Amino acid sequence: MTVTNPLGVHARPSAMIVQTASKFKAEVWLIKDGNEVNAKSMLGVMTLAAEMGSVVTVRAKGSDEEKAVEAIIRIFEMRFGEK
């Protein structure tokens, strides 16, 4: 699944991603250019954010994987609540 985010992901959004991902039982990953990080890891998401371009893939595995992916996509689409 692919999400575009023109604004980039910085520290506050990173925390939002981690908090959202942590709500689910499923393992959640963010992938960019073959670089894969655990979406429940603050440091992981931040390192990805540091190199963030425009296309990020979300992957999840577990009992609530679909909901987890949807939730992550939603916060990307909402542009992390920023203008």
Partner 1 sequence: MGATQASSEIRWRGIAAAPGVALGPAFIYRVAHDEPPIRHLNSDEIPDTECSRLDAALTAVREDLLRLKKESPSSVGSALAKIFDAQVMIVDDPSICAQVKAAIHGERLAAESAFARVVGEAQRTIERSPDPYLREMANDIDGVKIRVIDRLMGYGGATEHLSGPAIILADTITPADIISLKRGHILGIVTQTGGQTSHTALLAKSLGIPAVAGLGIDMRTARPGVQVVVDGFSGVVFVNPDADTVEFYQRKRRRAHSPWPKKLEALRELPAVTRDRRTVSVMANIDLPGEAELVVASGAAGVGLYRTEYLFLQKGGYPSESRQVDVYREAVRTLAGRPLVVRTFDLGSDKAARDAPPEANPALGVRGLRLSFERPSALAMQYRALLTASTEGPIWVMVPMVAAVEEFEAALELWNQIKRELKGRKTQFDPNTKFGLMIETPAAVLMATELAAKADFLSIGSNDLLQYTIAVDRGNQRLASMQHPWHPSLWREIASTVTAGHRSKIPVGICGEMSGNPYTVPVLLGLGIDSFSIHPNSIPRVKALVRQCTYAECRRLAEKVCEARTAPEVLALVKSFHDRVERQGNGTSSRATGSSRRRSKKPTKRQ
Q: How far apart are CA 54 and CA 25, in angstroms?
A: 27
Is the Cβ–Cβ distance between 48 and 39 less than 8 Å?
no
Q: How far apart are CA 26 and CA 77, in angstroms?
A: 21
Let me know if 42 is a catalytic residue. no
The active-site residue, picked from 2, 4, 7, 10, is 10
Based on the shown chain and the rule CB under 8 A, indicate whether residue 59 belongs to the binding site for partner 1: no
Scanning the structure block, which residue is given the tokens 């992550």?
Answer: 72
Based on the shown chain and the rule CB under 8 A, indicate whether residue 53 belongs to the binding site for partner 1: no
Based on the shown chain and the rule CB under 8 A, indicate whether residue 75 belongs to the binding site for partner 1: yes
Q: Rule CB under 8 A: which residues touch partner 1?
A: 8, 10-12, 14-15, 18, 37-38, 40-44, 46-47, 49-51, 75, 78-81, 83
